[in-house]
Structure 1
C-alpha cells in the first residue's frame, strides 16, 4: 500500500474518532503520530516540538485573559455592564435583546472568549429577556450569537494564537479587530430590532439620561478594566501579555475589595475553572506546531496554493478561502480551524495581495460565524447548556443573526480599511 493510501486511512480513522466525540487533541495527536510513522519522520521530534511550541512569552496572555473573564463574572462586573446596556437601549423595540448583544461586546472587550461571553451574558440576560416578553429560544439564540464577538473584539484569545502561529504582531491584530467587532455587534442589533418589531417582542421602557448615568456609574469597574487593557496595549505602555496580567490583578482587587462578591474561599475554584480551560487549549496549540511541520513536509500548502491561485485573481482566491473557512467552521471549533487552515491559507492570500493583518481578521470573523453554524455551532451548545433549551430548537432562531454576520463578513473582506484603518493610523 502506498504512503498516500496509508495517510488517507489514518485521516479517515481520526475523522471517525472525531465524529464519535473523541477530544480534538487526541484526534490531532493520533494523526500526527500515525503520519510520522508512515513517512518515517522521527518520533523524537514530536516531544521536542510540543515543548518548544509552548515556549513563547506571548502565550502567557492566554490563561491570564481566561482568568480575567471568570473574575469579571464572579465579581459581578458583567451584571453591571448588562444593566447599563439595557438602560441605554431599553426604549427601542427589541431593546433588551440589543442590550444583550451590547453586553456581549463589552464583556468581550475584557475576556477575549466566545464561550465565556455566551455563558456569562446568556445566564444573566436570557431569563430577563424571557420575562420581558421574548421567545425563550430567540433569547438563547441572541446570547449565542452575541458570543461570536468574544474572539474578535480585543483582547482576543484566538488572535493571540493566530499571531503566535503566523508570526504577526498581536497588538496590531487587536487593533485591527476593533472596528470589525463593533460592526458585528451593530449588524446583529439591527437584526434583533427587525425580528422583535415583526413579532412585537419586548416591553419598551422610557429612556432616562439620569438613570443611564447611574447605571454607567455602577458599571465603572467594567469600563475601567476595558480602559486599562486598551490604553496599555495601544499606547505601547505594555505588551498584551503584561496587559493580561495587569487586568487579572485589577479585577481580582475589584472583586475582593470593591464589589466584595469574590471571597478568598471561592478564589481557588475560580482559578481551577480557568486552569481547566487553559489546560484544554494549550495542548492543542502545541500539537498544532507538529501538525504544521507534517503538512509542510507532505506539501499540502503547495498543493492548495496551486489549486486556489489557479482560480484567478484577488477576489476569486479570497472568496475560495472564505468558503473553506466557513465550511470548516461548520464542523470544527475556531482553534482547530486556525491551527489547520491558517498556515495554509494565509500565505495563499498574501500571494495575491491580501494584507496579512487584514486576512487574519477575515479568517477569524469567518471562524467566529462557525460558532452559530450547525452542525457544530459551539455557542449554540453553550447557550443550550446554560438555558436548558435543546440545541435543535435554537437553530431556526439564530438564522437572522447568521445572515447579518455573513453580510458584515463580506463587507469586512471586500473593504480592507475596515480592518486596517486603525492599524495604519
Structure 2
C-alpha cells in the first residue's frame, strides 16, 4: 500500500473520531501514535518530547496560575462586582445588560487570561439575568460565547504565553501588544450587540445614575487593583509573566481569606441589589474560606490537565508534520502568493480555516512556527504577526463546527449548541472586521511598545 494511502487512512480515522465527539487531545494523540508507528519512530520520542515541554518551559508555568486566578476571582465575588460596574455604566442604553456582559468579559479576561473561564463565569452569572431582562435566551448565550473570545487577547493571556514560548518572543511585549486589539474587539461586539437589541427591542433600561456607577466602581476596586497589579508589574518589568501569575494568585487568596469574615460582619449579601448596599458592604467581597481552597484548586487543575497534555502532544504533532514535509509545503504555498499583503492574508485564511476545526493551542503550536517566519520575511513585525495570528485563533472559538466557546456557553446556559449559531453571525462579522483592521494597521499592535 502506498505511503500516501496509509497517511490518508490514519488521518481519516482520527477525523472520524473527532466527528464522533472524541476529545481533541485523544484525536491528536491517536494520530501521533499512528504516524509514529508508520514512520518507524519509537514511542520513546513521544515521551521525551512531552517531558521537554513540561521541564524546559518556565513560561508555561504561568498557564495553570492564571487559570487558578480566574477561579479564585469568580469564587471570591470579584467577578460579580466587575459585572455590576459594567451594567451600571451601560444599563441605560438599549441592550445595556448584554453590552455589560461583553464589558465584564473584557474585565474578567484582564485577570484570568482564559477564554473558556471567561465564557463560563460571565455566562453563568449574567445569562439568567439577561433572560429575565427580556433578552432571547439564544442571543444571551451567544453573547457570553462571543465575549469569551477576548479572554486570550486582553492580557494576561494563556495563549500569548504559549506563543511567546514557541517563538522566543518577550511575553511581556505580547501582553502589551494585545491591549488595543482586545479593546477594539470588545467595542466592535458591543456595537453589534446594540444594533441587534435596538432592532429587536430587547432589554429593560435602567436610569444612568452617577451614584450607582460610583458605588459599583468602589465595589469593584479589588478587581481593578488586580488588573492594575498584573499590567503594572509586567509593563514595568518588575516581574515576569510567570511571576505576575504567582503574585495575582497570592493576592486573590489573601483577599478571599480576609474578606470572608469581613463580609459576614458587614452583613453583605451577594444577591442584594447594589443600590441597597452600604459603602462598607461594597468595599468587601464575598470571599472564601481555607477549606474551600482545595476544591477551587482542583477545578483549576482539571482544566490545566486538559490543556497541558494538549500542548505537549501538539508539539509532537508539529515534529511529525515536519518529517512529512508539511511545513515546507505550507511555506511554499504561502510564499508563492507574492508580497506583503498576499502573504499576510493567505496566512490569516489558513489560521481561520484551521480555527474552525481545531482549538487555538494546536493551531498555534502547529502553524505559528511555519507562518511567522514567512510573514517576517516579507516585512511583518513579529509581535504584530503574533497579535494577528492570535486574534484569528480567538475567532475560532465561536466558529463552527468546533467553536469551543459555543460548547462552553451551551453547557453553562442549557441552550443547545446549534441554537446559538444564528446569533453568533453578527459577532463574527464584528470580530472579522477588527481582525482585518488590526492586520492593515500595524501601529494598533505596536503603539504601546513604542512608548
Q: TM-score under structure 1 normalisation?
A: 0.97
Contact 1:36 1:42 in 2 (8 A): yes
Residue by residue over 1:174-226, the C-alpha shift from the partner in whole angstroms, topping out at 9 and shown as x without a partner, is 11110000000000011111111111111222212222111100111100100
| Equivalences for residues 291-302 of structure 1 within 5 A | 291-302=317-328
Residue by residue over 1:8-54, the C-alpha shift from the partner in whole angstroms, topping out at 9 and shown as x without a partner, is 22222222222222222222222222222222234322211210111
Name the structure 1 match of 2:434.
Answer: 408
**What is the SS of the residue equivalent to 1:266?**
helix
CA distance in 1, matches of 2:299, 2:373: 36
CA distance in 1, matches of 2:195, 2:34: 51
- How far did 1:228 drift? 0.7
Aligned residues: 425
Name the structure 2 match of 1:130.
Answer: 131
CA distance in 1, matches of 2:48, 2:136: 53
Contact 1:59 1:160 in 2 (8 A): yes
- How far did 1:235 drift? 0.5
Name the structure 2 match of 1:390.
Answer: 416
Contact 2:118 2:151 in 1 (8 A): yes
1:350 aligns with 2:351: no
Name the structure 1 match of 2:271.
Answer: none
Moved over 6 A (4+): none
CA distance in 2, matches of 1:405, 1:96: 20
CA distance in 1, matches of 2:106, 2:386: 20
1:48 aligns with 2:48: yes
- How far did 1:317 drift? 1.4
**What is the SS of the residue equivalent to 2:308?**
helix
**What is the SS of the residue equivalent to 2:337?**
coil
| Equivalences for residues 89-104 of structure 1 within 5 A | 89-104=90-105
- How far did 1:260 drift? 4.6
CA distance in 1, matches of 2:325, 2:139: 45
Aligned partner of 2:361 among 324, 331, 335: 335
CA distance in 1, matches of 2:401, 2:324: 30
CA distance in 2, matches of 1:260, 1:387: 23
Residue by residue over 1:218-256, the C-alpha shift from the partner in whole angstroms, topping out at 9 and shown as x without a partner, is 111100100110000000000000000000010111112
CA distance in 2, matches of 1:26, 1:293: 17
Name the structure 1 match of 2:278.
Answer: none
**What is the SS of the residue equivalent to 1:153?**
coil
1:36 aligns with 2:36: yes
Contact 1:61 1:241 in 2 (8 A): yes
- How far did 1:139 drift? 1.2
1:201 aligns with 2:202: yes
Contact 2:77 2:286 in 1 (8 A): no
**What is the SS of the residue equivalent to 2:17?**
helix
| Equivalences for residues 78-227 of structure 1 within 5 A | 78-227=79-228
Contact 1:154 1:175 in 2 (8 A): yes
Tell me, which stretches of 5 or more residues in structure 1 are unaligned? Answer: none
Aligned partner of 2:349 among 300, 306, 323: 323
Name the structure 2 match of 1:8.
Answer: 8
**What is the SS of the residue equivalent to 1:262?**
coil
CA distance in 2, matches of 1:410, 1:373: 17
**What is the SS of the residue equivalent to 1:265?**
helix
Contact 1:254 1:260 in 2 (8 A): no
CA distance in 1, matches of 2:311, 2:407: 23
**What is the SS of the residue equivalent to 1:51?**
helix
Tell me, which stretches of 5 or more residues in structure 2 are unaligned? Answer: 260-284
